[in-house]
């Protein structure tokens, strides 16, 4: 679709003999909004490689549409702004660009596709294509297993690592992590371990609240494998297991400082609810997922 549209755009620009190339539009817009800018700023805004931006800017300059001057504050930088020729031609250019926008809108008779496209863009901002593919490749070897006594040290190490990075270890941490078999498993709770090549890389626990609810806690992923989708796999497992146990809801306590964790919870449907006193001093938010 992109290739076809770009080819048609080039054909249109040649037909009306407007004197510019289709991919100059974005640079025009950035300079129009900022009045002056730099190669680095354009590259950052468009997510284009520097050489690509340099090529576009050079062509625009050679065609007389730009003025490139030294930055008086930093002689190493060059400022880019529109020339008098460009300013004079802007009304004609904007007329063409408006027609292009109308042409695009005519393709999409409803907003559904564009809304879905926005979702795709937001998803790629959250996790780019590189990490998504790498997550699938490296995540293929991840196995989720129920906790066994030999996992006690790994369970504790994974949790102490994130707790000590952001907070202080509390008495409840010492209690649960010191003897998970006694203080979780034998009390009706459950723990699962994510393993790769036999080494624990993630974990979570479901603690018994009552016959209808469980508390999700002690979720951790080893720092060097974060970004590979392991947290999402742990969450899916936690939800599926709670449903298999006929639970009506999952609750959790967290801290708003842990933004990636909060985003993960929200992604899976957890909703914030009124906070109440809890045994965790570090907690400042409570969330619930109705199953």
Token couple for 202? 């993630």
Calpha distance 267→232 (Å, rounded): 9
**Domain at 142-290, CATH class:** alpha beta
Helices of type H across the chain: 2-16, 25-34, 39-46, 50-62, 84-107, 112-126, 129-139, 152-166, 171-178, 180-183, 230-244, 259-267
Task: State residue 140's pLDDT score.
Answer: 62
Calpha distance 257→26 (Å, rounded): 37
Sign of CA dihedral 40, 45, 51, 53: negative
Helices 84-107 and 25-34 pack at an angle, to 10 degrees, of 120
Task: State residue 189's pLDDT score.
Answer: 95
* Residue boundaries of the structural domains of the chain: 2-107, 109-140, 142-290
Q: Which residue has the tokens 């625009």?
A: 60
Task: State residue 111's pLDDT score.
Answer: 67
CA 99 to chain CA mean position, Å: 34
Task: State residue 123's pLDDT score.
Answer: 80
pTM of the model: 0.57
Cross-sheet strand order for the sheet of 285-290 = 142-146, 190-196, 199-208, 213-221, 249-254, 285-290, 271-273
Task: State residue 136's pLDDT score.
Answer: 65
Q: What are the pLDDT tens digits along the chain (291 aa)?
A: 778 877 888 888 888 888 888 888 889 999 999 889 998 899 999 888 889 999 999 999 999 999 998 877 776 778 999 999 999 999 998 998 888 888 888 877 766 777 888 888 888 877 778 777 776 665 567 889 999 999 999 999 999 999 999 999 999 999 999 999 999 999 999 999 999 888 999 999 999 999 899 999 999 999 988 877 889 999 999 999 999 999 999 999 999 999 989 999 999 999 999 988 788 999 999 999 999
Compute CA distances 56 → 61, 89, 262, whole Å: 9, 18, 41
Calpha distance 233→220 (Å, rounded): 12
Provide the CATH topology of domain 2-107: Arc Repressor Mutant, subunit A (1.10.10)
SS3 label, residue 104: helix
Token couple for 57? 């800017």
CA 134 to chain CA mean position, Å: 15
């Amino acid at each position: 679709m992109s290739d076809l549209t770009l080819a048609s755009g080039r054909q249109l620009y040649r037909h009306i003999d407007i004197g510019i190339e289709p991919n100059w539009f974005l640079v025009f817009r950035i300079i129009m909004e900022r009045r002056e800018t730099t190669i680095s700023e354009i590259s950052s805004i468009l997510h284009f490689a520097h050489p690509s931006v340099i090529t576009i800017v050079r062509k625009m300059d050679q065609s007389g549409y730009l003025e490139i001057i030294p930055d008086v504050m930093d002689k190493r930088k060059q400022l880019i702004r529109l020339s008098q020729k460009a300013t004079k031609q802007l009304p004609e250019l904007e007329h063409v660009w408006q027609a292009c926008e109308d042409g695009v809108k005519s393709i999409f008779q409803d907003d559904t596709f564009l809304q879905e496209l926005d979702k795709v863009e937001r998803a790629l901002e959250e996790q780019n294509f590189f990490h998504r593919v790498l997550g699938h490749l490296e995540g293929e070897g991840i196995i989720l297993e129920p906790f066994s006594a030999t996992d006690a040290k790994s369970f504790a190490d994974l949790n102490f690592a994130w707790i000590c990075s952001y907070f202080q270890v509390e008495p409840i941490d010492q209690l649960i992590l010191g003897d998970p078999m006694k203080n979780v498993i034998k009390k009706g709770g459950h723990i699962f371990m994510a393993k790769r090549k036999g080494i624990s890389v993630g974990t979570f626990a479901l603690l018994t609240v009552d016959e209808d609810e469980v508390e999700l806690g002690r979720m951790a992923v080893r720092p060097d494998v974060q970004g590979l989708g392991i947290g999402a796999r742990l969450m899916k497992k936690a939800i599926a297991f709670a449903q298999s146990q006929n639970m009506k809801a999952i609750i959790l306590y967290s801290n708003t400082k842990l933004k990636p964790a909060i985003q993960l919870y929200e992604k899976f449907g957890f909703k914030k609810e009124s906070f109440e006193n809890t045994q965790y001093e570090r907690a400042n938010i409570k969330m619930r997922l109705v199953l």
